[in-house]
Amino acid sequence: MSLCINPTCPIPNHPDNDNSPTCQGCGSELLIDGCYTVTKLLSDAGGFGVIYEATDRAGKPKILKILKQELNEDSKAVSLFQQEAFVLGQIEHAGIPKIETYVHHDLENGTMLHGIIMQKIEGLNLEQWINHRDRKPIAQKRAITWLRQLVDILAVVHRNKYFHRDIKPANIMLSPSGQLVLIDFGTAREATHTYLAKIGGVQGITSICSVGYTAPEQEKGFAVPQSDFYALGCTMIHLVTGKYPLDTYNPDRDVFEWRSHAPEISEEFADLIDALIARKPSDRPINCESILKILKEIELIDKLAPNDKTKAKRKSIKQSIKDSTRKPTSPILLTISVIIAAFVGLSIGTVIKISAIGNFEDIIQLPVFQKKFLNPTRFLQKHTDAVQNVALSPDGKIIASASDDGTVKLWELEGDNSNPIKEIKDQGGWVRAVVFLSDRQIVTAGQDKNIKIIDIASGKVVKTLSGHTNLINNLAIAPTSDLLVSGSYDNTVNLWQISTGKLMRSLTGHTDKIWGLAISPDGKQVVSASRDKTVRIWDVKTGENLKTLEHPSGVTCVLVTPDGKRVISGSSDKLIRVWDLASGKKLSELSEHKDTISAIAITYDSKYLFIGGKDIQNSIHLWNLQTKSSIWSLIGHTDLVTSLVITPDKLKLISGSQDKNINIWKIPEP
């Protein structure tokens, strides 16, 4: 049965869906990302997502998580949803489900749904498993084996500078092989065991708490890596007693009195569990390695004959537990970026990215990131529709942003003012392109097919240039050559004389929309990119098409390197191509992107390239063109990145996006 995932579809399981590519109930496409067929609704009770089972073309079962449609307009929720997929996509471990792809699915009514395709883990979660045993406690040998597996998984997560924040039996799957898999979902879990602490943040959420498992500091919104250890300890209490941890809690003494319900558990192992659930994070083990060391010592004692289990050996375990905890020697300030994730079921799992000021190693000892990540320093968020283009004034002080909301807004680059200093309304519909003619004038173009030269101070149109017969998508300018270039959906590139506004020449040859434009530094050549799968190099003086660079897919963006020697193009086939401008020969390809590339910008020394698009994270990637390696990921947008500008001093990057925002980034040292 092919199931429709349109939340407003009147008959999502229409009996004729199996024989049609579109839903017979609402007309939406049934195939997800061109290869996944949805077969079963697993849960729609989760706060953030609807969970389905799907199959790929080979018939292999997958899990499809769809962000609830009503959250599509919540940029924070979308960002956190995408970030979770990104985080898990970076971690390889048998105990962590594999992310297969991030998908966007367009419905018949034009609504786009965000989704994640991931590995389907067969089996029961541990809450289901122990309930199937009539809550019979597990033996110590199994408890130690499972705790070791979970700590091994956490060690990988923590080494990647993330922590989980929602560990509990319902979020741990027991696979047929016996391997535990830590997940952020539970397919049949009692909703009463999870609540959201509404203290602010995303839709009022700053801390996500699972009653009886969440550490005290996390309930107050201050989770640290040791918060995961607290949840592990409470999970072990559940497993070795068969009771929910709160069922053993004594509120008068503020302790879990669980030991009497687990008489088969040794004193040594019980001491470790109690260390994991210590009230203060500093009284818990410092890292996963210290827990594994204690487990090894406990196993050695368990192998001894009863008479050999001396008080001295028990004392040794207690000392090891004591040694595994130490208080920080300096204050720690954690900057916590909360990432909501709810892949399957009724709960919302959370992974936290950790950054620190102070002696971070006193909290948890982790290696340095292999790949670095960066977040914006400022967000400019006053547009009400997609931002399609950004530009920087010649003096480097003012940002101009063109939007489908019909306005151009001007912003101060420096300072902390998040409001525009000027708004210029355009009665012609969408504004798709903006460039600065000078510090006093801008040039805009868009849906009304006209180019407008506008005085910034008054906001009035000084001159209108007409000649295109369809939407104008791109503008490029070479003031020293008195040249303005426009690219249109009418498949033409027009060359204009700035001083007179005269149309000098119309370049024809493309057979589809113009998606990108660039001018060589000497102003003698224009480069255009088109949906017709070509980049064309034109002679400005003669209008001759000098070279045609073939691509297998539509070309979305293009630039000429500052030295005038190379052309760089980005495509919907996920590749960046570097070409020799003079010969048209392809020199190299950059190929690690997950989805369409839509914006590129190059540093003035031509050594580093910023690439934006629509991958798992809608992130911007910084590439070293000499080593052809991606060295930074800039994470902050929640939809397609449309435009990138580097400041002349190379200290900042400005990005525009269809998420309606302009982000400002401090460019890191490569």
For 652-661, the pLDDT digits (tens) are 999 999 989 9
Burial of 25 per CB tally in 10 Å (0-12, 13-18, 19+): middle
CATH architecture, domain 17-119: 2-Layer Sandwich (3.30)
Contacts of 284 (CB under 8 A, 6+ apart): 226, 229, 230, 275, 276, 277, 278, 325
Give the integer Cα–Cα distance in Å for 478 and 612: 24
Rounded to whole angstroms, how far apart are CA atoms 578 and 568?
5
Spatial CA neighbour of 109 closest among 22, 180, 192: 22
Q: How many CA atoms lie within 13 A of 216 on its CB side?
A: 11
Which pLDDT belongs to residue 350?
Answer: 38
The superfamily in CATH containing domain 124-368 is: Transferase(Phosphotransferase) domain 1 (1.10.510.10)
Mind spelling out the 3-state secondary structure of 211-239?
CCCCCHHHHCCCCCHHHHHHHHHHHHHHH
Task: State the pairing for strand pair 255-256/332-341.
Answer: unpaired
Q: Which two tokens stand for residue 248?
A: 């053993």
372 pairs with which residues across the strands? Answer: 632
Each domain of the chain, given as residue ranges in start order, spans 17-119, 124-368, 378-666
User: In terms of pLDDT, which residue wins out, 112 or 330?
Assistant: 112
Q: What is the pLDDT of residue 207?
A: 46
DSSP 248: G
pLDDT score recorded for residue 103: 84
Question: What is the per-residue pLDDT for 236?
Answer: 98
Asked if residue 79 has pLDDT above 90, the reply is no
* DSSP codes joined into one string, 63-104: EEEEE-GGGTT-HHHHHHHHHHHHHHHT---TTSPPEEEEEE
Phi–psi pair at 384, nearest 5 degrees: -110, 5
Are 572 and 554 a contacting pair, CB within 8 Å?
yes
Mean pLDDT, to the nearest integer, of 236-254?
Answer: 93
**What residues contact 647, with CB distance under 8 A and at least 6 apart?**
392, 396, 413, 653, 654
Strands 472-478 and 629-634: unpaired
Question: What's the average model confidence in pLDDT over 117-122?
Answer: 88
Going from the C-alpha of 600 to that of each of 181, 351, 387, 570, 628, the distances in angstroms are 39, 30, 16, 7, 15
Which runs of E-coded beta strand occur in 382-509?
A: 387-392, 398-403, 407-412, 422-425, 431-436, 441-446, 450-455, 461-466, 472-478, 483-488, 493-497, 502-507
Structure confidence at residue 373 as a pLDDT band (50, 70, 90): low
Q: Determine the 3-state secondary structure of 27 from DSSP.
A: coil
Q: Which residue has the tokens 């319902």?
A: 170
Predicted pLDDT at 157: 83
DSSP sequence for 124-167? EEHHHHHHHTTTPPPPHHHHHHHHHHHHHHHHHHHHTTEE-S--
Confidence band for 306, pLDDT divided at 50, 70 and 90: low
Please check the confidence at residue 186 and state whether its pLDDT lies above 50: no
Return the CA Rg of the chain.
29
- The pTM (predicted TM-score) of the whole model is 0.51
Higher pLDDT, 48 or 382: 382
pLDDT classification of 45: cutoffs 50, 70, 90: low
CATH fold, domain 378-666, is: Methylamine Dehydrogenase; Chain H (2.130.10)
Round to whole Å and give the CA distance between 209 and 468. Answer: 57
CA distances from 442 to 456, 457, 553, 557 (A): 7, 10, 33, 22
